[in-house]
Structure 1
C-alpha cells in the first residue's frame, strides 16, 4: 500500500470515528470500528478517542490524522449506519473509496427538524412516562403541557443562547414553574408526578449508559469525562427545579 493510500485510509477511519462520536457512540465502539476498517485493508490501526478528539495512526506509518469534535448529539441511527458501512467493507461488499464517499453522505445528512413535532413528541413522552412512573391519569394532560413548554424553552435556549448546561437549567426552571401554575389553576393535582414526568426527556440516559459501558471496557478517561458531563446536566436540571420552587413555592 502506497503512502497516499495509507493517508486515504487514515482519513476514512478518522471520518468514521468522528461521525460516530458526534452522534453518541461509546468510545470503545468508535475505536473498534476505526481499527476494523484499518484491518480490512490489512493494516494495524492505533486509535485514541476522547470526548472531543479522534486520533488515528497505522503501525506501518508515522503519519497521524486527527479530527476535533465540538458538537455532540444523540442519533443512534447514524451510529448504526456507520456500523453497517464498516461491516460492508469488512465483507468486501464495498471498497474503501465507496466507504469514504458514503461516510461523507452520512456526515452531511440531517434529519427533518420540525420543531412542532419535537415539542409534540416531548409532550407525549412526558405524559406517558409520568403514568409509567406511578402517576395518575388526571395529571396526564397537564404533564403534557409542562413537558411541551419545557422542551420549547430548551429549544429556544439551545438555538439562540447556545450556552451549554444553561439550556437544561432554563428548561427545568420553566417546567417547574409551569407545574406550579397547573396546580394553581386546577389542571393538575400532583406536583411531584408532573415534574418527574416532564423532566425525563432531559435526563442524559444515553450518556449514563455509555459511561458504564466505557468503564467496563477499560476506557477510564472517556468514561469519567462522559460521567462528569452527565452529572453536570443532572445537577443543572435539579438546580432549575429548585429555583422554580424558590420563586413559585
Structure 2
C-alpha cells in the first residue's frame, strides 16, 4: 500500500469515512474507532476525535490539522456502514491505497446504494403484517396491518421530501396508519383495532436510535447518548400523538 500521504489528505480521508458512517446510523464509538484505525494504518498512533450526532471534530496529534464536519442529515443505511468498515479493514491490511480508498468513499457518499422505494414499502408491509402474529393477534388482521403499515412508510418517504422536520413526518405517518386502521375496522376488514395499529407502526419505531443511545451511554459517550435518546423520545412522541388524534376523533 502506498504510504505517501500528507496529513491534510489523511485527515480528509478519516473525516469522510466517519461522516458517511455517522450519517448512515453508525454508533459513536464505531465512528471514532474507524477514523483512528485508518490514521493508525498510516503511522499516526495518537489521533483524537470528538463525535456527536450533529458533527465530527478530528485531529491528527503532532500536527496543526484539525478537521470539522457538520452532520445535517441522518438516516439508517447499514449497508454504507458495512462498506466503510470493509474499506477500513482493507486499508489496515494494505490491500488498498489511500487514493483508492478516498475515491471509493467519495462514490459511496455521492451514490445511493439504497433499495428502491417499492422494496422498502413491501418490506415495511411484511413487517407490519407479521407483527400481528408476534402480538398474538388473529390472521384476519394480517392484511389490514400489511396495508396500513405500507401506507405509513410510504407517507414517511414522501412527506420527508416536502417537510424537512422529522417530527411532523412521523406524526402524519402515524395519523395515516391510525385512520386506515380505523377505516378497515369500520368496514369489517379488520377485527382488533389496537393490534392493527400497533403492528402497523412497527416500521416507524426508532429501534436503531434507541439501541445506539443505550450503547453510547454505556460506552461513556454521554452527549451522543443523551441526544440520540432525546431524538428517539421525540420520534416516539410524534408517533403516539398521531395515533392519539385518531382515537380522540372516533372514540
- For the aligned pair, the TM-score class normalised by the smaller chain equals over 0.9
Contact in 2 for aligned 1:168/1:202 (Cα 8 Å): yes
1:144 alignment partner, SS class: helix
1:232-243 alignment to 2 at 5 Å?
Answer: 232-243=234-245
Match of 1:143 in 2: 145
Q: Find 2:108's aligned residue among 106, 109, 122.
A: 106
1:173-228 Cα shifts (integer Å, max 9, x gaps): 11111111111100000011101100000000011111111111110110110010
Match of 1:115 in 2: 117
Contact in 2 for aligned 1:177/1:245 (Cα 8 Å): no
C-alpha distance in 2 between matches for 1:100 and 1:228: 34
Contact in 1 for aligned 2:5/2:98 (Cα 8 Å): no
Q: Find 1:89's aligned residue among 79, 84, 91.
A: 91
Q: Find 1:212's aligned residue among 211, 214, 228.
A: 214
Match of 1:12 in 2: 13
Contact in 1 for aligned 2:11/2:67 (Cα 8 Å): yes
Using the TM superposition, give the Cα deviation of residue 141 of structure 1 relative to its aligned residue in structure 2, in angstroms: 0.8
Using the TM superposition, give the Cα deviation of residue 161 of structure 1 relative to its aligned residue in structure 2, in angstroms: 2.1
C-alpha distance in 2 between matches for 1:42 and 1:19: 23
1:148-194 Cα shifts (integer Å, max 9, x gaps): 22222222211222222110000101111111111110000001110
C-alpha distance in 1 between matches for 2:124 and 2:200: 8
| TM-score of the two chains, using structure 2 as the length reference | 0.95
1:166-181 alignment to 2 at 5 Å?
Answer: 166-181=168-183
1:165 alignment partner, SS class: helix
1:186 alignment partner, SS class: coil
1:189-200 alignment to 2 at 5 Å?
Answer: 189-200=191-202
Using the TM superposition, give the Cα deviation of residue 112 of structure 1 relative to its aligned residue in structure 2, in angstroms: 5.2
2:190 alignment partner, SS class: coil
C-alpha distance in 1 between matches for 2:166 and 2:56: 21
Contact in 2 for aligned 1:52/1:69 (Cα 8 Å): yes
Give runs of ≥4 in structure 1 deviating > 4 Å: none
Match of 1:38 in 2: 39
27-36 vs 161-170, which moves further: 161-170
1:8-35 Cα shifts (integer Å, max 9, x gaps): 0000000000000000000010001101
C-alpha distance in 1 between matches for 2:154 and 2:55: 31
Contact in 1 for aligned 2:25/2:77 (Cα 8 Å): yes
| TM-score of the two chains, using structure 1 as the length reference | 0.95
Using the TM superposition, give the Cα deviation of residue 55 of structure 1 relative to its aligned residue in structure 2, in angstroms: 1.0
